């Protein structure tokens, strides 16, 4: 039993100064976590219980889907990450360190290299596969912006699993099994979530989906269709573009005098004045950025987007990763006429890419690469050819779904999980083969799957709180019932007895036996957020206690003699932690 008189807990009445989001504010105020340094938190007794409850649900479902748990060191030698290329690719995100002999190490941000190596050392035949291995492990990432308490830490707890198969069908099955396991996990955690298509990022690979917990404070933006079930991360979303046209059928390119047109609006006005009907969406804006690769190399990139949209740097970055996207100094790049850049006749040394909205055969008003001049009817596929098509333009509410054509809507969410088919990237790097059925070596194909265990605690708090405090879903609450003794009479003794009986009934009990003021007891019960609160107070004089539901705020009185049964029934009915769903 947790007794508040001795529990290592101190709740705070004031919000911590550095807390911008509700979960951070409340987890600190309710004494669940405490900050050590940016992105580094201590889990206090109640917080650790929630964290362990989340981890337990994750383990149970991973075991159920056939995963086997292992545990790697968090401290790893450089060599494996050198083999995969990620020692460099990770750039500043990686915590690197040296031992006393000068040998180099890292604190692992994720463990693909190690799992690949482990399987290679132990599996030699197709008969050893398929296998799914997982761990619940502390990860380290030197995040540029650690934020919002445990939502984005520099040290955090992750469940990571990896599947190993000899063929694509096997990988597909492992992927789908993970998807189902994740659905069960997030349901049991009481999280509202969406599954959205994602880009695979720096690990390569193909199919990739994220599990996002919708929350206004989330750092991820996702797009979903108002009519079909299409949903995608903004970085990965495909927006319906205009139909392709025959480039040869477009009118001839025409160069126009357009002095003093520093903005799209002034350009549109100048072009219209010359009898050409165009609006901002018919202009092609060419934005110059600098790509910086992890090895320090830089390269300018010119990005073409419709003139009524900005370049979405995060979206672009996700599609050029591991390169970073930085602002470029256009004046320093030979061959570019600032304000009048056009893709036609750009120097071949310059990489030019377009957003998918710039379809083949489309005709644009754009710069003429000459001071004071623009050109009309500049046609993709006739006057210029991009070196690649990359999602780069901002996506807007009301853009159309690529699947069904209905309007899209945009919302924010917290990434709580990620599943993706790595394919053979790591198996290639490490030479992971097994002998196939026909006696010939086959290259193994892999999947990689993560859940932010510590982040999930914050995501739950973010979705499940009110202005008075936390409201834990049953599956993760640090206790099943919060018994509060309020009053100077026999309340203490009765509460004590009821708490024991509840514990004997198999419930996890937190007992407020401090004998303080009712105001303090009630405020703390609200702040701590245990779903059921049993108040032994004034009504005891009439043989009654009060049963409160933290989420709805509703309460009812029950005779003392029936209190234990009433609580047990309520907890069981809504699924306690101890009971596997």
Residues that bind Mg ion (CB under 5 A): 418
Out of 382, 455, 482, 508, name the contact with ligand ATP by CB under 6 A.
455
- The entry of Mg ion, ligand ATP, none that residue 308 binds, CB within 5 to 8 Å by partner kind: none
- 143 is a contact residue toward ligand ATP (CB under 6 A): yes
- 415 is a contact residue toward ligand ATP (CB under 6 A): yes
**Helix (H), strand (E) at residue 462:** helix 453-463
- The entry of Mg ion, ligand ATP, none that residue 158 binds, CB within 5 to 8 Å by partner kind: ligand ATP
Q: Is 216 left (phi over 0), alpha (psi -120 to 50) or beta?
A: alpha
* Residue number with CB closer to ligand ATP (318 or 498): 318
Strand partners, 213: 414
Which region, judged by CB under 6 A, interacts with ligand ATP, from 76-84, 225-233, 411-419, 471-479?
411-419
Count CB neighbours of 283 within 10 A.
21
- The entry of ligand ATP, Mg ion, none that residue 153 binds, CB within 5 to 8 Å by partner kind: ligand ATP
- The entry of Mg ion, ligand ATP, none that residue 386 binds, CB within 5 to 8 Å by partner kind: none
Which DSSP string corresponds to 157-226? EEEEEEEEESSHHHHHHHHHHHHHHHHHHHHHTT---EEEE---GGG--S-EEEEEEE-TT-SEEEEEES
Out of 318, 416, 427, 483, name the contact with ligand ATP by CB under 6 A.
416
- 382 is a contact residue toward ligand ATP (CB under 6 A): no
Out of 29, 49, 152, 548, name the contact with ligand ATP by CB under 6 A.
152
Out of 23, 110, 117, 217, name the contact with ligand ATP by CB under 6 A.
110
Going by DSSP bridges, is the β-strand pair 388-389/194-197 parallel, antiparallel, or unpaired?
unpaired
- The entry of Mg ion, ligand ATP, none that residue 401 binds, CB within 5 to 8 Å by partner kind: none
N-to-C CA span, the chain: 24
Out of 86, 141, 178, 380, name the contact with ligand ATP by CB under 6 A.
141
Closest approach, Cβ 392 to ligand ATP, in A, equals 18
Where would I find the H helices in 214-332?
264-273, 313-320
Which region, judged by CB under 6 A, interacts with ligand ATP, from 182-190, 386-394, 410-418, 552-560?
410-418
Out of 282, 417, 487, 537, name the contact with ligand ATP by CB under 6 A.
417
* Residue number with CB closer to ligand ATP (399 or 415): 415
Closest approach, Cβ 372 to ligand ATP, in A, equals 44
Closest approach, Cβ 484 to ligand ATP, in A, equals 33
Which of 557, 559, 567 shows the shortest CA–CA distance to 504? 567
- 153 is a contact residue toward ligand ATP (CB under 6 A): yes
The C-alpha atoms of residue 95 and residue 153 are separated, in whole angstroms, by 13
Out of 29, 418, 474, 548, name the contact with ligand ATP by CB under 6 A.
418
The C-alpha atoms of residue 123 and residue 109 are separated, in whole angstroms, by 25
Going by DSSP bridges, is the β-strand pair 351-354/298-306 parallel, antiparallel, or unpaired?
parallel
Which region, judged by CB under 6 A, interacts with ligand ATP, from 94-102, 162-170, 353-361, 448-456?
448-456
Which region, judged by CB under 6 A, interacts with ligand ATP, from 235-243, 414-422, 517-525, 548-556?
414-422
Which region, judged by CB under 6 A, interacts with ligand ATP, from 153-161, 292-300, 350-358, 479-487?
153-161
Exposed e or buried b per residue across 266-277, where buried means at least 16 C-beta atoms within 10 angstroms of its C-beta: ebbebbeeeeee
9 Cβ neighbours under 8 A, 6+ residues apart: 31, 44, 45, 46
- 452 is a contact residue toward ligand ATP (CB under 6 A): yes
Which of 466, 443, 457 shows the shortest CA–CA distance to 527? 466
CB 205 within 8 A of CB 171: no
- The entry of Mg ion, ligand ATP, none that residue 152 binds, CB within 5 to 8 Å by partner kind: ligand ATP
Out of 41, 87, 140, 156, name the contact with ligand ATP by CB under 6 A.
156
Exposed e or buried b per residue across 208-220, where buried means at least 16 C-beta atoms within 10 angstroms of its C-beta: bbbbbbbbebbeb
The C-alpha atoms of residue 412 and residue 212 are separated, in whole angstroms, by 9
Q: Give a three-class secondary structure readout of 481-539.
A: EEEEECCCCCHHHHHHHHHHHHHHCCCCEEEECCCCCHHHHHHHHHHHCCCEEEEECHH
Closest approach, Cβ 415 to Mg ion, in A, equals 6
* Residue number with CB closer to ligand ATP (160 or 512): 160
**Chain centre to alpha carbon of residue 335:** 40
Which region, judged by CB under 6 A, interacts with ligand ATP, from 309-317, 387-395, 398-406, 452-460?
452-460
Closest approach, Cβ 417 to Mg ion, in A, equals 9
Closest approach, Cβ 141 to ligand ATP, in A, equals 5
Which region, judged by CB under 6 A, interacts with ligand ATP, from 29-37, 118-126, 310-318, 416-424?
416-424
- The entry of ligand ATP, Mg ion, none that residue 315 binds, CB within 5 to 8 Å by partner kind: none
Burial of 296 (0-12, 13-18, 19+ CB in 10 A): exposed
Closest approach, Cβ 102 to ligand ATP, in A, equals 29
- Provide φ and ψ at 74, rounded to 5°: -85, -25
The C-alpha atoms of residue 373 and residue 137 are separated, in whole angstroms, by 59
Out of 450, 469, 475, 531, name the contact with ligand ATP by CB under 6 A.
450
* Residue number with CB closer to ligand ATP (41 or 340): 41
Exposed e or buried b per residue across 4-33, where buried means at least 16 C-beta atoms within 10 angstroms of its C-beta: beebebebeeeeeeebebbbbbbbbbbbbb
- 316 is a contact residue toward ligand ATP (CB under 6 A): no
The C-alpha atoms of residue 525 and residue 46 are separated, in whole angstroms, by 13
Q: How many residues bind ligand ATP (CB under 6 A)?
A: 15
* Residue number with CB closer to ligand ATP (52 or 167): 52
Residue nearest to ligand ATP (CB): 452
Q: Give a three-class secondary structure readout of 214-228.
A: ECCCCCEEEEEECCC
Closest approach, Cβ 156 to ligand ATP, in A, equals 4
Return the residues of window 472-531 that contact ligand ATP according to CB under 6 A: none
Contact footprint for ligand ATP (CB under 6 A):
110, 141, 143, 152-153, 156, 158, 415-418, 450, 452, 454-455
């Amino acid at each position: 039993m947790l007794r508040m008189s001795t529990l290592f807990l101190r709740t705070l009445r004031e919000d911590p100064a550095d807390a911008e989001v509700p979960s951070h504010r409340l987890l600190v105020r309710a004494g669940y976590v405490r900050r050590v340094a940016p992105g580094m938190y201590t889990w206090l007794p109640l917080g650790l219980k929630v964290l362990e409850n989340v981890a337990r649900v994750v383990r149970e479902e991973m075991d159920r889907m056939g995963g086997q748990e292992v545990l790697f060191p968090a401290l790893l030698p450089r060599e494996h990450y050198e083999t995969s290329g990620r020692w460099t690719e990770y750039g500043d995100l990686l915590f690197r360190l040296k031992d006393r002999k000068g040998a180099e190490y890292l604190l692992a941000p994720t463990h693909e290299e190690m799992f690949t190596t482990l399987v290679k050392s132990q599996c030699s035949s197709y008969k050893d596969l398929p296998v799914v291995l997982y761990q619940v492990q502390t990860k380290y990432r030197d995040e540029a912006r650690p934020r919002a308490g445990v939502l984005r830490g520099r040290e955090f707890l992750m469940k990571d699993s990896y599947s190993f198969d000899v063929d694509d069908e096997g990988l597909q099955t492992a992927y789908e099994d993970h998807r189902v396991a994740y659905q069960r996990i997030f349901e049991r955690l009481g999280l509202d979530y969406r599954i959205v298509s994602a880009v695979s990022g720096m690990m390569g690979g193909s199919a990739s989906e994220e599990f996002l917990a919708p929350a206004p404070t989330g750092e991820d933006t996702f797009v979903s269709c108002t009519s079909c079930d299409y949903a995608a991360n903004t970085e990965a979303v495909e927006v319906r573009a205009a139909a392709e046209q025959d480039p040869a059928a477009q009118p001839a390119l025409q160069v126009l005098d357009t002095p003093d047109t520093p903005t799209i609006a002034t350009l549109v006005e100048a072009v219209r004045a010359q009898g050409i009907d165009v609006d901002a969406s018919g202009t092609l804006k060419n934005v110059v950025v600098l790509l910086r690769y992890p090895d320090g190399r830089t390269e300018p990139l010119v990005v073409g987007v419709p003139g009524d949209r900005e370049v979405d740097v995060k979206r672009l970055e996700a599609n050029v990763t591991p390169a970073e996207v930085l602002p470029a100094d256009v004046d320093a790049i030979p061959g570019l006429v600032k304000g009048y850049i056009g893709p036609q006749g750009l120097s071949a040394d310059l990489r030019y890419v377009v957003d998918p909205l710039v379809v083949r055969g489309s005709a644009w008003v754009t710069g003429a690469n000459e001071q004071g001049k623009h050109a009309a009817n500049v046609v993709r596929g006739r006057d210029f050819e991009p070196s690649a098509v990359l999602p780069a333009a901002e996506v807007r509410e009301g853009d159309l779904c690529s699947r069904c054509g209905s309007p899209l809507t945009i919302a924010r969410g917290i990434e709580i999980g990620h599943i993706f088919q790595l394919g053979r990237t790591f198996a290639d790097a490490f030479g992971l083969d097994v002998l196939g059925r026909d006696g010939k070596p086959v290259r193994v194909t892999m999947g990689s799957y993560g859940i932010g265990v510590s982040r999930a605690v914050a995501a739950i708090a973010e979705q499940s709180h009110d202005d008075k405090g936390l409201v834990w879903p049953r599956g993760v609450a640090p206790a099943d019932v919060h018994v509060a003794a309020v009053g100077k009479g026999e309340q203490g003794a009765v509460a004590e007895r009821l708490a024991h009986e509840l514990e004997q009934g198999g419930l996890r009990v937190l007992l407020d036996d401090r004998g303080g003021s009712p105001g303090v007891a009630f405020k703390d019960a609200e702040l701590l957020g245990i779903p059921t609160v049993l108040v032994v107070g004034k009504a005891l004089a009439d043989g009654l206690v009060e049963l409160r539901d933290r989420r709805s705020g509703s309460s009812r009185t029950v005779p003392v003699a029936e209190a234990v049964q009433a609580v047990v029934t309520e907890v069981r009915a809504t699924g306690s932690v101890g009971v596997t769903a």
